[in-house]
Structure 1
Amino acid sequence: MGGLIKSSIARKVAMALSGLFLVFFLLQHFTINFTSIFSADIFNELSHFMGTNPLVQFVLQPVLIFGVVFHFVMGFVLEIKNKNARAIKYAKYNGGANASWMSRNMIYSGLVILAFLGLHFYDFWVPEIVHKYVEFAPEDPTRYYPELLHKFESPIRTGLYALSFVFLALHLWHGFASSFQSVGFNNKYSVAATKFAKAFAIVIPVGFIIIAIVLHLNH
């Protein structure tokens, strides 16, 4: 960890790798949630598998939590290091001359996403932990869809989720594409990879917004 903090290149690579890992999880999470808008039974089956599989619960879930924390910590470290470098090396710094607005404000979209994750954990992860390990409630394979539907009953909460996904799109628009460059992906497929990243940054957040709206309207 000390080496990562001291080396600018290592910090960017670590940030990119953790981001790519979270993108993979985001796609998996979207795939499961998307089934909720056309089949409650399929959503229940997938959610029950993810919620009871030991590999998912005791290996992949801790790895995911570590990945989220690591990504955000590295984001703050990079932001602080970059600000210090600009203050030392440039008397007058015009960030807009060399970088897009989104690339210069990743920290702010990241903070909104972090706040959203707090809400998401409060809505889903904490009740799940209480259900399993505090109340020791009997397992019900059909409970997942009604619980999901209940979370989107409020128009205010649905709006907060939708707004959060807009910021997720902004964050992915720069972050996903730049992660390929950070890990050294610079060949004849670079243009295609960038286009894929841009499309992903729009399609997945919009898909999540559609899911939230459909679930809200299903009440």
Structure 2
Amino acid sequence: MGILSASIAKKVAMALSGLFLVFFLAQHFTINLSSVIDPETFNNWSHFMGTNGLVQFVLQPVLILGVIFHFVMGIVLEIQNRNARAISYKSYKGSKNSTWASRNMIISGLVILAFLGLHFYDFWVPEIVYKYVDVKEAVEDRYFIELVHKFESPVRTGLYCLAFVLLMFHLWHGFASSFQSVGFNNKYSKALQGFTKLYAILIPAGFIFIALYHHFNQLPH
């Protein structure tokens, strides 16, 4: 009974960390989308996020810890599930028993984690160096130019798009499963599941659009 309770607790913790990251993803998408609509708004929002003490020294560390916790817990649960699986692979029915997304959460998760490493290298590390190593003066209108510059390379742009396709698959199963893990089961469950599927498609597709927009918008006409 204790082992079962511990397993349930891990799944709930995994689900809650996932829901937290989903909320952050929507906020991050909103800011990035403004770079397509109005560069000045993007600069203003980015400057606020980059200089606000609460964001920098409270929310940012919590976010980083949330990302680490979510992926570590995902690996732990995957290993636990594989060790506890009683049914042999001979009787496994593949997609008849589950979707590709649910069977490959660990793969898509690891690729997304690698993408986050690239994303941190591209944006977070230069920002930290700019502010805390080189200690340069705050320039409010630099963020849009820096963002566009990152999408000059077709290789980097392609990697970003690929990562968001895999994020789509990851969210397709993971977002809906998070609500099931925390016990959300009522008359709104079907509508909520529809929302999670829509979110899983639109948000990654939106990020892909932003990357392609900035890439092709700076090519010679």
Matched with 1:94 is: 92
C-alpha distance 138-4 of structure 1, shift in aligned 2 (>3 A): farther
Residue by residue over 1:70-90, the C-alpha shift from the partner in whole angstroms, topping out at 9 and shown as x without a partner, is 00000000000011001xx23
CA distance in 1, matches of 2:83, 2:87: 10
Question: If the length of structure 1 is used for normalisation, what is the TM-score?
Answer: 0.95
Q: How much has 1:194 moved relative to structure 2?
A: 0.3
Q: How much has 1:101 moved relative to structure 2?
A: 2.1
Q: How much has 1:16 moved relative to structure 2?
A: 0.5
Question: If the length of structure 2 is used for normalisation, what is the TM-score?
Answer: 0.94
Matched with 2:184 is: 185
C-alpha distance 99-139 of structure 1, shift in aligned 2 (>3 A): same
Q: How much has 1:5 moved relative to structure 2?
A: 10
C-alpha distance 4-25 of structure 1, shift in aligned 2 (>3 A): farther
Residue by residue over 1:94-134, the C-alpha shift from the partner in whole angstroms, topping out at 9 and shown as x without a partner, is 16353222111100000110010000000000000000100
The AA in structure 2 aligned to 1:178 is S
For the aligned residue pairs, the C-alpha RMSD in angstroms reads 1.6
Q: How much has 1:18 moved relative to structure 2?
A: 0.3
The AA in structure 2 aligned to 1:181 is Q
The AA in structure 2 aligned to 1:24 is F
Matched with 1:35 is: 34
Q: List alignment gaps of at least 5 residues for structure 2.
A: none
Query: Is 1:62 aligned to 2:35, yes or no?
Result: no
Q: How does 1:49-88 map to 2 (within 5 A)?
A: 49-86=48-85
What SS does the corresponding residue of 2:187 show, helix, strand or coil?
Answer: coil
User: Contact conserved, 1:5 with 1:11, CA < 8 A, in 2?
Assistant: no
What SS does the corresponding residue of 1:186 show, helix, strand or coil?
Answer: coil
The AA in structure 1 aligned to 2:202 is V
What SS does the corresponding residue of 1:140 show, helix, strand or coil?
Answer: coil
The AA in structure 2 aligned to 1:11 is K
Q: How much has 1:13 moved relative to structure 2?
A: 0.5
Matched with 1:9 is: 8
C-alpha distance 106-53 of structure 1, shift in aligned 2 (>3 A): same
Q: How does 1:16-27 map to 2 (within 5 A)?
A: 16-27=15-26
Residue by residue over 1:15-64, the C-alpha shift from the partner in whole angstroms, topping out at 9 and shown as x without a partner, is 11000000000000000000000211000000000000000000000000
C-alpha distance 81-74 of structure 1, shift in aligned 2 (>3 A): same
Q: How much has 1:91 moved relative to structure 2?
A: 3.9
Matched with 1:214 is: 213
Matched with 2:46 is: 47
The AA in structure 2 aligned to 1:115 is A
Q: How much has 1:4 moved relative to structure 2?
A: 9.6
Percent sequence identity over matched residues?
69
The AA in structure 2 aligned to 1:113 is I
CA distance in 1, matches of 2:179, 2:19: 9
CA distance in 2, matches of 1:79, 1:66: 20
Matched with 2:160 is: 161
Q: List alignment gaps of at least 5 residues for structure 1.
A: none
The AA in structure 2 aligned to 1:149 is V
